[in-house]
Amino acid sequence: MNVLNMRIFKNIKFFNYLPIKSPLLRALIASLLLFHDSYLMVKPFLLKSFRNFISEGNQNYSWHDAIIFMGLLDIPRFFMGIVLFLISFIILFRTRLAWFSSVSILFCVSFIDYFISKTHSMDLLYLIGTIIYLLFVWRDFYKHNLGTISLFSLLSIVSLLVYGSLGVLYLGDQFSPHILNIYEAVYFVIVCMSTVGFGDIVPVSDNARIFTVTVIIFGITIFAASVASIAGTMVRNNVKKILQGKMAKVTRNNHCIVIGASYFAQGVCRKFVESGIVITAVCRAGEKGFFTEKMDVIEGDPSSIDTLSEAGAKQAKYIISLMENDSDNAFVLLAAKEVCGENTKIISLVNDDHNVNKIKIIKPDGILSLQQLGSEILMQAISGETDNNSIVNIFLKTQNAEGN
């Protein structure tokens, strides 16, 4: 059994990644399959309508006649076909909601065709094949965003409008007065969805009353769910921004700004955090992962005035530039001079000892040269010219303690 499971897993992995490597291309194929399936679902209505149009003539043809000739089971199938047609475009955005909706609709239609309608045709095989394909590529559809939820809310309202209009046209003679055209049907459905209830059109049969109740219930549910989904997503996104520190600029005051994502900058940030010093790290886009999640990190151009302003440079106590390139440190210093406060101290790292004089031209409050510092430590350590409070003595004590 384990060997069989491994073979199945390998086949799935091969199907999912090797033949079609691009997720965008797999999403495009899914869109085309859904578009084809939507055509198969609305095809019976189109064929019957066309035949009825030919037999009755274009003068006597009406929407009501087309719906009556369509049949009871074709109405939900046509309704879901319209919805699937719209989803075939939305699924290109690779959203999980579009994937789940398409799989659910295809499963419902396949279930109706096989167990209720008893139709075993090639159309059913196409639907099942699309379901299998979507299940194989489910990992590609993972996105969630407010725009998709808003679009699906609009899609739900339009779908309910189509469903209600088709049902009202099918039961048109069971209303008082009779509903015989698409305009009256759309008007009645909108009145029911909004729960206004003017009373100018009234259902007079049990079937018409039950159908009207379903439209009212669906209308209330869709409107409530749409508002809750959109509002909930907005609140959730704002809370997420707060937790990630994206709104922390209002609390950035009397802190240290460490600029750079080098190993030295990462070590300095860790030491500052361990010592209880409030810091804000500034790095280039894509370098946020070098820092721990608990740190306040801003991604952007470190030499940009806007980025430094977002980091709270005007309220900062220190701005420490620890970029790996001295030219980058120079540009950061120039930008920091523009936005820093009166009491802000600016310190810059110099990687190449030959660039110390060049950095001094910008007049930072402090210059840190690792080459000079290292040379000084080694010179004092070898000559023995140290006292108990010197950095060299502390360094030697630390090494001896680690050795013991």
Q: Are 258 and 279 in contact (CB under 8 A)?
A: yes
DSSP code per residue over 242-297: HHTTTTGGGG--S-EEEE--SHHHHHHHHHHHHTT--EEEEE-TT-GGGS-TTS-E
pLDDT at residue 12, rounded to an integer: 42
Task: Give 56 or 24, the one with higher predicted confidence.
Answer: 24
Domain span(s) for CATH 3.40.50.720 in the chain: 255-364
Residue carrying the six token digits 């019976």? 44
Taking 50 as the threshold, does the pLDDT of residue 112 lie above it? yes
pLDDT at residue 160, rounded to an integer: 81
Taking 90 as the threshold, does the pLDDT of residue 34 lie above it? yes
pLDDT tens-digit map of 47-100: 766 666 555 555 555 555 555 555 555 666 777 788 888 888 888 888 877 888
Q: Kindly report the pTM of this predicted structure.
A: 0.47
Taking 50 as the threshold, does the pLDDT of residue 14 lie above it? no
Lowest mean pLDDT among 41-50, 198-207, 329-338, 386-395: 386-395
pLDDT at residue 132, rounded to an integer: 93
| d(C-alpha 9, C-alpha 13), whole Å | 6
| d(C-alpha 287, C-alpha 263), whole Å | 12
* CATH domain 255-364 topology: Rossmann fold (3.40.50)
Tell me the three state secondary structure of residue 298.
Answer: strand
Q: Is the sign of the CA dihedral 331, 334, 338, 343 positive or negative?
A: positive
| d(C-alpha 307, C-alpha 172), whole Å | 64
> Residue 308: how many CA atoms within 13 Å on its side-chain side?
28
* Pairing state between β 175-176 and 256-259: unpaired
